Amino acid sequence: MAFRFVHTADLHLDSPLRSLALRDPELAALVAGASRQVLGRIVDLCLAEAVDALIIAGDLYDGDATSMKTARFLADQLGRLDAAGVRVFIIRGNHDAASRITRELTLPDAVHVFGARAGVVTLDRPGQRVALHGLSFRDRHAPDSLLPRFGAPLPDAVNIGILHSSLGGAEGHDVYAPVRLSELRGTGFDYWALGHIHRRAVHEGRPLVVMPGIPQGRDMGEAGETSVTLVTVADDGTCSHEARPLAVVEFARCTVDLRRAEGWRDALERLRAAMSAARAPVRADHLVLRLSLMATGALWARLSRDADLLTTEAARIGAAVGNTWIDRVVLDGAAPAPSGGALGELSRIAAADVLASPAFAAEAEALRAALQRALPVDCRNAFDMLEPDLAPRGVAEVLARLTPEGPEG
Ligand SMILES: [Mn+2]
């Protein structure tokens, strides 16, 4: 009888909001509650598919920032699995290595949390013995491979390893218990259930190595479809897998070319078409978009001048398109270059005397640095999110605001 399980990792349950862009309180509440909702959906999936086990390969929590309320919610959800006879196997990752919660909380009998020494749990099933190997490193940092701590595969059993690891390294993720794919290949295991990197990756072969990715993205840095992995292990140990998207919210970037748009109304119509096309393939209940608008000339000036109105219109279109929210509207493309009259002269002065001046650059940088220092620690990296060359951008915006509206309106 095939052994079936759901493999997930990096839920970061009740993780604090990191994005400054989620200023809309309704959207912030939606994103804040999404990790819990998705945990509920993972349990629903386990029950609907009548799987044998759920494997959570680290970073279930986000450190001690999470409260006992989070822990109680988790215990309730895992209790639903316990009642249905679904086993749960958990290791800790770098974010929940030292979490007090998992130590203090009494979890249902069906739940096994691996300790700091590699452990093996065997399940004797009709015609098949399954061995689950796991280990929870105590420290937030694991600069060396944890693979040598694992035992050998049990003979005459399907061997599943559970490991939190950055593999060979991934951009945006701390190095944690690094290990080469070839080393995992050499273990003689049948399946490696990994966690840590938030983007899904499947390495076919035997063992089958799966990094399931975060099941619910938290901001634009975790854009795209997210999922958990449903695995079936045949009696001979052959593993097959399928991605099951369960996200409540999906984040995506959307570029809209407005360079041929004829005025404001036409631009909004093109925006609606682009947002509708972005929404169509998304299976999550809600979509959060970062809009990049390409525009030139008078339209660029209008969009820049009426940025607040534009954001309001985009939000209205998003609601009409269906549960689509705006994270941020970024205006790209070329500002109009006024050639004649007073504006033309102002433009030339700005370019030649101001932007080219080292004294201005030094003053602008000092101002930026002072402003950054004055911000609360949590917000200081907001400057890194801003586009470079703020000064030319500022000049273009000032000129746009001074440009009289064309007949297009
Ligand atoms: Mn991690």
pLDDT digits (tens, 9 = 90+) for 362-409: 888 888 888 888 887 766 666 665 556 778 878 888 888 887 766 544
Torsion of CA 63, 66, 71, 72, to 10 degrees: 180
With CA atoms as reference, report the closest residue to 293 among 252, 256, 266. 256
Burial annotation 160-176 (CB, 10 A radius, 16+ → b, else e): bbbbbbbbeeeeeeebb
**Cα–ligand 1 centroid distance for 67 (angstroms):** 19
CB 3 within 8 A of CB 50: no
**Cα–ligand 1 centroid distance for 160 (angstroms):** 19
**Cα–ligand 1 centroid distance for 165 (angstroms):** 7
**Cα–ligand 1 centroid distance for 184 (angstroms):** 18
**Cα–ligand 1 centroid distance for 70 (angstroms):** 18
Residue 307 pLDDT > 80: yes
With CA atoms as reference, report the closest residue to 5 among 137, 123, 126, 147. 123
**Cα–ligand 1 centroid distance for 198 (angstroms):** 8
User: How much is the pTM?
Assistant: 0.88
**Cα–ligand 1 centroid distance for 392 (angstroms):** 40
**Cα–ligand 1 centroid distance for 320 (angstroms):** 37
| Paired strand residues for 326 | 289
d(CA 203, CA 212): 11
With CA atoms as reference, report the closest residue to 167 among 176, 183, 159, 178. 178
E strand intervals along 137-197: 158-164, 191-195
Q: What are 170-208's pLDDT values in tens digits?
A: 777 888 899 999 999 999 999 999 999 999 999 999 999
**Cα–ligand 1 centroid distance for 10 (angstroms):** 6
CB 58 within 8 A of CB 195: yes
On the 0-12 / 13-18 / 19+ scale of CB atoms within 10 A, 3 is buried
CATH number for region 3-244:
3.60.21.10
Residue 165 pLDDT > 50: yes
**Cα–ligand 1 centroid distance for 221 (angstroms):** 15
> In this predicted structure, which of 5-14, 20-29, 116-125 has the lowest mean pLDDT?
20-29
Would you state the pLDDT for residue 375?
81
**Cα–ligand 1 centroid distance for 88 (angstroms):** 19
**Cα–ligand 1 centroid distance for 264 (angstroms):** 45
**Cα–ligand 1 centroid distance for 297 (angstroms):** 46
**Cα–ligand 1 centroid distance for 174 (angstroms):** 8
**Cα–ligand 1 centroid distance for 62 (angstroms):** 9
Q: Where in the chain is the domain with CATH 3.60.21.10?
A: 3-244
Copy the structure tokens of residue 40.
């509920």
**Cα–ligand 1 centroid distance for 90 (angstroms):** 13
| Paired strand residues for 319 | none
**Cα–ligand 1 centroid distance for 61 (angstroms):** 10
Task: Provide the mean pLDDT of the chain.
Answer: 89
**Cα–ligand 1 centroid distance for 381 (angstroms):** 21
**Cα–ligand 1 centroid distance for 196 (angstroms):** 4
Measured CA to CA in angstroms, residue 228 lies from 151, 168, 193, 242, 253 at distances of 27, 22, 11, 8, 22
CB 274 within 8 A of CB 254: yes
**Cα–ligand 1 centroid distance for 229 (angstroms):** 17
Q: Compare 355 and 87 and report the one with higher pLDDT.
A: 87
Task: Order across the sheet with 249-257: list the strands.
Answer: 249-257, 286-295, 324-333
**Cα–ligand 1 centroid distance for 97 (angstroms):** 9
**Cα–ligand 1 centroid distance for 34 (angstroms):** 19
pLDDT band of residue 61 (cuts 50, 70, 90) is confident
Would you state the pLDDT for residue 157?
95
**Cα–ligand 1 centroid distance for 146 (angstroms):** 14
Q: Compare 246 and 408 and report the one with higher pLDDT.
A: 246
Residue 209 pLDDT > 60: yes
For residue 207, whether the previous peptide bond is cis, meaning omega lies within 30 degrees of 0, is yes
**Cα–ligand 1 centroid distance for 128 (angstroms):** 32
**Cα–ligand 1 centroid distance for 106 (angstroms):** 23
Would you state the pLDDT for residue 293?
97
Would you state the pLDDT for residue 408?
47
Would you state the pLDDT for residue 383?
63
**Cα–ligand 1 centroid distance for 2 (angstroms):** 30
CB 7 within 8 A of CB 210: yes
Q: Compare 257 and 340 and report the one with higher pLDDT.
A: 257
